[in-house]
Amino acid sequence: MPTTVRAYAATSATDPLTPTTIERRDVGPHDVRIDIRYCGICHSDIHTARGEWGATEYPVVLGHEITGTVAEVGPEVTRFRVGDRVGVGCLVDSCRECTYCRRGDEQFCTQGYVETYSSTGRDGLPTQGGYSEGIVVTEDFVLRIPDGLALDAAAPLLCAGITVYSPLRHWGAGPGTRVAVVGLGGLGHVAVQVAAAMGAEVTVLSQSLKKREDGLRLGATRYLSTGVPDTFSRLAASFDLVLNTVSASIDVDAHLSLLDVDGTMVAVGIPEHPQSVDAFSLLVRRLSYAGSNIGGIRETQEMLDFCAEHGIGALVETIDAGRIDEAFERVVSSDVRYRFVLDTTTLA
């Protein structure tokens, strides 16, 4: 029998989110039913709710930073038991057969992976996310939350965490590398912790110095404001990797000028509008301009284990369901330290 769960949905680009109920599918042989305890509020939820990435199909239940406990498992499930602490991120299924799925890079699935919300499941039904009391997910896409991680601080790792961990690993952040993290928001504050734990020398570039103490405490050795005119000239050619986590358009050429020879600037922020890049900015020091999209299930588990081992978690402000719209506003105005997390017991 499908179960009915309480949820909050976006019904248009401009209306406040509204309480609703949604149906979750019956637990199939390989499925896990999860009682959701927390769901992080990612800026991608806001871009989607507001239709900033093209047409959104409403109503949509957002949320892809889910943690909770296993409530029921299908008869063929081998890796989870009732009561286990688990998480679900941006992916809930994929073809599982293509080259990329087989090697654990489901984010590159040639058939297109199934996103936690705003997607169509392999059963043909629209997917609905974590601003809800429960979800049913095939076991291969369920993550284990290590004992050392609290469920609220772990929730944002399921998207923000993997989105920064994957490029930091891919582009070799570690001892001897100089990493600049642009924007100290949800993604940025995890990036600083992860890059520092990997052994890199980390600098934060923020719009202001308001969050400087936090940035340094999280592991940065320098914290500078891009609003100060000489910041770019002072830091010219002094990084190997620039990780751009900003949700709005920035001056890409100015940030490329910060890279040393063979350096890479990675876009993980996805602003509403395209940004231009001048070829001259790249060719002068043989630079690369790259992008990175979340990460596969295997790497997400690796990231969670890494975070537990290094005592890394998101700094969260837990909110009731009635405050989601207010939280959206505060995220957009960079007034969040550093992730809002929905307490799903307040959906009742």
Subset of residues 162 to 181 that bind Zn ion, contact rule: CB under 5 A: none
Nearer to Zn ion, 37 or 47 (CB): 47
Q: Which partner, ligand NAP, Zn ion, none, binds residue 294 by CB below 5 to 8 Å per kind?
A: ligand NAP
Strand partners, 34: 70, 135
Minimum Å distance from CB 268 to ligand NAP?
4
Strand partners, 243: 181, 266
Reference 64, options 96, 98, 41, 97; nearest CA is 41
Q: Does 269 contact ligand NAP by CB under 6 A?
A: yes
Q: Does 42 contact Zn ion by CB under 5 A?
A: yes
Parallel/antiparallel/unpaired status of strands 316-319 and 18-24: unpaired
> What residue spans of the chain are helical by DSSP H?
43-49, 99-102, 151-154, 160-170, 186-197, 212-218, 231-234, 252-256, 279-283, 297-310, 324-332
The CA-based angle 222-223-224, given to 5 degrees, is: 120
Pick one of 118, 206, 301, 344: the residue that binds ligand NAP (CB under 6 A).
206
Size of the site for ligand NAP (CB under 6 A): 30
Reference 186, options 268, 130, 90; nearest CA is 268
Q: Does 158 contact Zn ion by CB under 5 A?
A: no
Other CB atoms within 10 Å distance of the CB of residue 75: 9
Instruction: Indicate the Cα dihedral angle 65, 243, 104, 141, nearest 10°.
Output: 0
Nearer to ligand NAP, 160 or 173 (CB): 160
As a whole number of angstroms, the distance between CA 32 and CA 86 comes to 10
Closest chain position to ligand NAP (CB): 185
Q: Does 266 contact ligand NAP by CB under 6 A?
A: no
Pick one of 334, 341, 342, 347: the residue that binds ligand NAP (CB under 6 A).
334
Q: Does 47 contact ligand NAP by CB under 6 A?
A: yes
Parallel/antiparallel/unpaired status of strands 239-244 and 259-267: parallel
Q: Does 159 contact Zn ion by CB under 5 A?
A: yes
For residue 72, what are its two tokens? Answer: 């029921």
Q: Which partner, Zn ion, ligand NAP, none, binds residue 33 by CB below 5 to 8 Å per kind?
A: none
Residue with tokens 């992080």: 40
Nearer to Zn ion, 12 or 110 (CB): 110
Q: Which partner, Zn ion, ligand NAP, none, binds residue 109 by CB below 5 to 8 Å per kind?
A: Zn ion
Q: Does 187 contact ligand NAP by CB under 6 A?
A: yes
Pick one of 42, 114, 180, 266: the residue that binds ligand NAP (CB under 6 A).
42
List the x/- string, 232-251, binding to ligand NAP by CB under 6 A.
Answer: -------------xxxx-x-
As a whole number of angstroms, the distance between CA 118 and CA 132 comes to 15
Using CB under 5 A as the criterion, which residues of the chain lie in contact with Zn ion when the complex forms? Answer: 42, 44, 94-95, 98, 101, 109, 159
Note the residues at the interface with ligand NAP (CB under 6 A): 42-44, 47, 159-160, 163, 183-188, 206-207, 211, 245-248, 250, 268-270, 292-294, 331, 334, 336
